[in-house]
Amino acid sequence: MRRIRLSFADLKVEFVDRDRALKQLSELAEKGTYPVYVIYGPEGCGKTAFLRQAKVILEEEFGYHVIYTNPLAERFEEILEFTPSVKDIVKEVLGVFPEPYSKIVDVAISIAYRVIKKFSRPRVAVLMDDIFQAVGLDKAEAYAKTLLNLIEYPPREYERIAVLVTSSEGITWERVGRHRWVTIRIMWNMSRNGFEELYRFVPDPKLDFETTWRLTGGSPMILSGLLRAGWRVEHVVNDLIVSRNLEEALLRLNDESLEILREAIEDPDVIFERLAEEPVQRLRDKLIEKNLIIRIWDRDEYFWIDVPPPERDPGLGIGKRYAWQSPLHREAVRRVLSASSK
């Protein structure tokens, strides 16, 4: 298998680890997906890296025509990527939409329809990377249905189709998941061994591995943040606070919610235990919306892309039912709370 090269802070690294995820991908590639697969996971856990590696595998090992879109990609050329076989169709469709890049998800779907029409019994893969924010969170369900329609009512027969969507927008999870249109899977940060492999790519001077693991909990995004910040943990935490405006978001909570939040820093499962209380529900929604915690329940491997997190790891902020997206996400909240109580 060819492993892709990825940008990582200022480095280029090879796609590492995720062996189980890649095996799962091969299984999906053998039969296609039904219904649409939606993969949730903490921001920065590696969903984009996985989908981009998936693109190459689906093309090179399974002969799929792949259409990949990441509407929020930083680099223009990563917003829409495709197998060379569909180049002409892409050109056509880009010409049909007056402002194609503002409607890139529709563009990608339209390309997929035309690919099915043009080729005889093709294998088609549609990889939709973090599209819900781009289409509008309120339209996440509608798009899930549109993608299911592609599978169920193709314009012509296909041999196989695989539709994979990723999202870090936890607030869409319940709405999208209540339909038969999707199968929800979760992806977690990297396993300790996999993460160590990535850590080895990082040049010295660096913090020792044990400390890095405790700070990141295996989040490649946090590792790259630390690297960019010259290992000044403070800066990474501050970036988290500023980028999601945590001060204002948390200080607007009432005393009761603040109290629960303090408890949740010690043990995120308190949110589950007290979910019958309305302030706790509101607090949970806020923490999910701000990408601070994620809901997880079963560790049955069946529900997971790659390997599930440990059953509980209080040090990393992982409870049985809820988890902090990384130890530094939790630290950001802790910092805001302690500043406000001074």
Under the binding rule (CB under 6 A), the answer on residue 22 touching ligand ADP is: no
CB closer to ligand ADP out of 65 and 295? 295
Under the binding rule (CB under 6 A), the answer on residue 68 touching ligand ADP is: no
CB closer to ligand ADP out of 16 and 186? 16
Applying CB under 6 A, which of residues 25, 29, 45, 292 lies at the interface with ligand ADP?
45
Under the binding rule (CB under 6 A), the answer on residue 215 touching ligand ADP is: no
Under the binding rule (CB under 6 A), the answer on residue 220 touching ligand ADP is: yes
Under the binding rule (CB under 6 A), the answer on residue 49 touching ligand ADP is: yes
CB closer to ligand ADP out of 71 and 122? 71
Which residues 111-170 are close enough to bind ligand ADP by CB under 6 A? 168
Under the binding rule (CB under 5 A), the answer on residue 219 touching Mg ion is: no
In one-letter notation, the amino acid at residue 98 is P
- Is the preceding peptide bond at 309 cis, omega within 30 degrees of 0? no
Residue 134 contacts which entry, Mg ion, ligand ADP, none (Cβ below 5-8 A, type-dependent):
none
Under the binding rule (CB under 6 A), the answer on residue 319 touching ligand ADP is: no
CB closer to Mg ion out of 8 and 158? 8
Under the binding rule (CB under 6 A), the answer on residue 306 touching ligand ADP is: no
Under the binding rule (CB under 5 A), the answer on residue 53 touching Mg ion is: no
Under the binding rule (CB under 6 A), the answer on residue 46 touching ligand ADP is: yes
Binding site residues, ligand ADP, CB under 6 A: 6-8, 13, 15-18, 41, 43-49, 168, 198, 220-221, 224
Binding site residues, Mg ion, CB under 5 A: 47-48, 130
